[in-house]
Structure 1
């Protein structure tokens, strides 16, 4: 496996920023993630006909509860707007031998969603690749899409989508954010990932590193 120097550079920059700001940058990211997780509601404007469901790592080739929540929200929107279609994103990850998107499609078909309304992206390994590959697949780069993921994951997903100039409206999988230890822990992890993303982005801009910029944005397109 080829060593990823750009990822290491971004990670090192992120840790340096956290240390130099005495953790303040991480705190700001935490507040941002929590604010989005608490406040966002599902935008169910019937004028939006394209849904995007972010995939999630499978457990024994099956979706976990969080992924099922995302798919259930997609099912609700699809049944409420018969003109809509959905892109499910996610390839083979972890120890699974099935693509996340393939499993998601099966769940929706079992919920009586017509297979002709379901489109798949089956090569991505994580959120950034999910969105980059969707951008490449999309024939209409200016369309509004309804982005479906879990509440704790929404802030980073919106931020990354903006990097690819994907015009998103948010649609959290859950009706509300629950203050549990596991959810707060997820918010902390997401705060670190946002710090990682932003540190890498601004380091790449400052140093003119187009390899990193091409991975996270449309700058070279």
Structure 2
């Protein structure tokens, strides 16, 4: 079964270029570059080790039945591409093993005719999603932070006191560290669940791990700097 989705916004764009117009993001970028230069790259190396550790050690199943948040990815020809299909396969296996009965698919429009969430839902239905699993679609987000903000709003609306239930964060191994940091920052009690059976060891995946370490460092150091100097607006960007 499924619930009413968040109202989609087809005009939303995943382009990272929009951040170049954001002075708080640029401020964080300058702080990050300085930290890397002053540490001779050791700060970035520490984040890379953290990303790799989370990627390698995250489990394939949550410790108990939990709501599963599945992060979308840019579609190819209006269908889930390789990494997104692996995420969907993981949540499908969780649903079939009765380790989740509530799936929240995250992802807005990324250039196709439909949203990432709707494409993921169609894929799950085609591949045997049990009919008693409650599926919700969040279709108005353009990045991982917005994914989680909109998920938080949906889940808080379903509880009496607005408390967030524990959730399983289902995504690719390279993406887990950043999603986990953002989720905890937004008040989730989130546990990582890896899409891939094991950590892939090829050039493309290494590039993704390097990129995620940079994203995580940029976000985390920006927040720490904002807290240090009392920059409330910048600090509130992830809250």
Same fold (TM over 0.5): yes
Q: Among residues 180, 199, 220, which one is paired with 1:158 in the alignment? A: 180
Task: Please say if residues 47 and 213 of structure 2, whose CA atoms lie closer than 8 Å, have aligned partners that are also in contact.
Answer: yes
Q: Please, which runs of 5 or more residues in structure 2 have no aligned partner?
A: 1-17
Q: Distance in 2 between matches of 1:142 and 1:82?
A: 19
- CA distance in structure 1 between the aligned counterparts of 2:152 and 2:170, rounded to whole angstroms: 16
* Structure 1 pair 17–167 and aligned structure 2 pair: CA distance change class (3 A): same
**Aligned-residue CA RMSD in angstroms?**
1.8
Q: Which residue of 2 aligns with 1:132?
A: 149
Deviation at 1:202, TM superposition (A): 1.2
| Corresponding residue of 2:98 | 81
C-alpha deviations, 1:76-113, integer Å up to 9, x for none? 101111761100011112x3232111111111111232
Partner of 2:53: 35
Q: TM-score with structure 1 length normalisation?
A: 0.91
Q: Distance in 2 between matches of 1:97 and 1:179?
A: 33
1:116 CA drift (Å): 6.2
- How many angstroms apart in 1 are the aligned matches of 2:99 and 2:204? 36
Query: What is the Cα deviation at residue 115 of structure 1?
Result: 8.2
Secondary structure of the 1:216 match is coil
> Which range moved further: 165-174 or 1-10?
1-10
CA distance in 1, matches of 2:62, 2:231: 39
Tell me if 1:167 matches 2:167: no
Partner SS state of residue 191, structure 2: strand
Question: Does the aligned pair in 1 maintain the 2:71–2:171 contact within 8 Å?
Answer: yes
Pairs aligned (count)? 215
The alignment status of 1:190 with 2:207, answered yes or no, reads: no
Tell me how far apart the structure 2 counterparts of residues 211 and 106 of structure 1 sit (CA, whole Å): 39
Post-superposition Cα deviations, 1:10-64, rounded to whole Å, max 9, x if no partner, equal: 111111111111111110011111111111112333432x110011111222211
- Aligned residue for 1:69? 86
Is there any run of 5+ residues in structure 1 with no aligned partner, and where? none
Shift of 1:178: 1.7
The equivalent of 1:143 in structure 2 is: 165
TM-score between both structures, scaled by the size of structure 2: 0.84
Q: Which residue does 1:178 correspond to in 2? A: 200
Q: Deviations over 1:138-180 (max 9, x none)?
A: 1243311111000111111111111001111111001100211
Moved more, 177-186 or 38-47: 38-47
Q: Whole-Å Cα distance in 1 between the matches of residues 207 and 126 of structure 2? A: 33
